[in-house]
A and B are shown apart, each in its own frame.
Chain A
Amino acid sequence: MAVKFEKTGDGTYVLDVQGYVCPHPQLYTKKGMEKLKQGEILDLIFDNPSSGESIMAMCQAEGNEIIEQKKEAGKTTMRWRIRKS
């Protein structure tokens, strides 16, 4: 499954990096967030647990806010909603 970055609405985007291992999810997230304007939302979908740690720390360092985290029961897929600060 290749990376997907799509616009889903006014100021919202989805980045799907399922199937990717470190460092792809965190690098794609960084690149994606760099392109967003302040207040815009990125819906991130990934399934590599160790990338989550890095992405979380990256958001803290850059002041971006993780406003929602979801994990499907019985699966390793995670869906985070991040707002650009």
Chain B
Amino acid sequence: MTSLPCNTVNVDTPPVVSTEPRNVIRAFIVLGFFALVSLSSFAVDHRFIYYSAYLWFGFTYGMSLQYGRFCMASAIRDLFAVGVPRMAVGIMIAVVLFSLVSALVTVAGKSTFHPSPIGLYSVIGGLIFGIGMVYTGGCASGSLYKTGEGSIAALLVVLSLSFTQVFLVDAGGWLNQLIPAAWTQATLAQDLPAVITPTDGWYDQFLAGYVWNLKAHTVGELLGFTNTVYAAFIGNSLINSIIPAILILAGIYVRWFRKGYLRDNKSQYQGFRTELAGYWSMITASKRTAIAGLVLGVAAGLHMWVMQGLQFRLGISNAGELLSGMGYSGLSIQDTVFDPGYFYITTQEAQGAAWVVQKLGFNVTDNIFFGLDNGVPNPILNPVLWMSIALVGGAAVMALLNNEFKLKMPTLEIATWAIFGGILMGIGARIGLGCNIGAFFATVTNGDPSGWLFGLGMTVGGFIGVKFFNWWIERQMAKEMSAFDL
């Protein structure tokens, strides 16, 4: 056993231990695998460079997430559960930076972003997702990076949320009875192709009868900015991202950080100056988290720029055109596949699960989600799934370099939480039209106010999840302590 020097508390990680040689080799093997995929696919067809772009950004996200232990579940959960603001601070740093890069990308005419409709569904979806992610121990991106660390529990979460979405978007029958008649009528009025049977599916009617009738705008548009620079930087970045982030951080500082900071600095209290110093101390408390937030924010913005550039270069607006051009199938009836052009999670996982379900003989394309919009391409040919798989790979490389990779089988208890929480995350993600990344991180940073509605729901859901977990843990500890008086 290696005994490390006695250590006073340091918010950053434990003392660094050098990478074990076998882990370096393993890390290079993983990196080499993705390099091989990239190069060989390009050799087969140069248009696979579009896929490689998704892959390497995914790899970068994975490395950053693992390095900074970046997890939105942690951001919300650890605030309420143990009073630790570290991750919430990191998220806000990433939000500010991504918003600035997004504004730049927008001004340059390279943005691939489209705002989501603004409605109560975002809060409800976020709430269900928030409860689920506390139970699983990780958000969608967090579960992916922890899969890269070797956590089979995290893999169960990803599988659970993936297959849940497939069931949810295709379910009809008795679930149709839960749909308001107005939604059914509005769905019929959309005149959708009969092959997707829109009125036999609660999710189809949720989308076509309710969501599609809501308005979708960025803050820049809502404020009436006609100048792109003002719309992007003032409307979308400053008003929708930077100011809310500063205010949220101020609230976190007052509620969770100030007491400890003033306790450690009471002899030097100089009023507002001290408070500002404390605010800054909170932001810089965890260097790893701050660095990860910085890398994620910048990379996510650049990702949009690169994808838009490649779309222009290849003369496409959707990856479906690449697939059909190369002679592959699995597209929607509009000849499209899911291709957001930026960091996103859950939809491509659902597509992967749908492909498996389809192989088992079930029809999963008689609905809007797969049949009309996203398609069910072979996972090997799903560009956005390349991003998710590479995210896992990037996290694995970083975990190996930190000697933190370990294949961990979950206990029955943990597996149960993973599956149950994953189901809630899948439900929440589909209702909210995305997860912590697609419905929150990518939206609030691109001027979309619906992201804050999802974030609000996620926060409330996280609070509820923590309340339950506190009760559960208390109960378990009471059992353990019954043998002695404490």
Please give the residue numbers on chain A whose beta carbons come within 8 Å of chain B beta carbons, in ascending order.
1-7, 19-24, 26-28, 30-32, 35-36, 47, 49-50, 52-76, 78-79
Contact = CB atoms under 8 A, between A and B. Distances in A.
A49 B405 CA distance: 10
Nearest to A81: B6
Given A5-B477, A23-B77, A23-B78, A66 B7 contact: yes
Interface stretch (B55-63, B82-90, B297-305): B82-90
Contacts of A75: 406
Contacts of A23: 74, 77-78, 81-82, 134, 137, 466, 469
Of B17, B285, B399, B414, the most chain A CB neighbours within 10 A belong to B414
Interface of B: 1-4, 6-11, 13-15, 17, 20, 69, 71, 73-74, 77-78, 81-84, 86, 134, 137-138, 146, 149, 151, 153-154, 256-257, 260, 263, 285-286, 399, 402-406, 408, 410-411, 413-414, 466, 469-470, 473-474, 476-477, 480-481, 483-484, 486
B204 to A, nearest CB: 36
Nearest to B256: A61
26 contacts: A6-B480, A19-B408, A21-B151, A22-B137, A23-B469, A26-B84, A35-B477, A35-B486, A36-B486, A47-B406, A47-B408, A49-B399, A49-B402, A49-B404, A52-B14, A54-B78, A55-B82, A56-B11, A57-B84, A58-B82, A66-B8, A68-B3, A68-B6, A69-B15, A71-B4, A78-B14
Contacts of B6: 67-68
Contacts of B138: 21-22
Nearest to B71: A50
A67 B9 CA distance: 8
A61 B414 CA distance: 28
B4 A21 contact: no
A5 B71 contact: no
Q: Chain A interface secondary structure, helix, strand, loop or mixed? A: mixed
A19 B82 CA distance: 20
A73 B2 CA distance: 6
B81 A26 contact: yes
A30 B6 CA distance: 21
Contacts of B1: 70, 72-73, 79
A69 B13 contact: no
A82 to B, nearest CB: 10
Contact of A28 (B71, B403, B473): B473
B69 to A, nearest CB: 4
A31 B471 CA distance: 11
B476 A61 contact: no
Contacts of B484: 7
Contacts of A73: 1-2, 20
Contacts of A64: 9
A74 B20 contact: yes
Closest A-B pairs by Cβ, 6 of them = A22-B137, A5-B480, A57-B84, A60-B9, A50-B69, A21-B137
Contact of B82 (A35, A52, A54): A54
Given A22-B73, A27-B473, A53-B69, A60 B3 contact: no
Contacts of B137: 21-24
Given A27-B470, A63-B263, A69-B7, A3 B476 contact: yes
A22 B81 CA distance: 11
A55 B411 CA distance: 22
Nearest to B20: A74
A27 B417 CA distance: 15
Contacts of A20: 411, 414
A76 to B, nearest CB: 4
Of B260, B263, B285, the most chain A CB neighbours within 10 A belong to B260
B74 A50 contact: yes
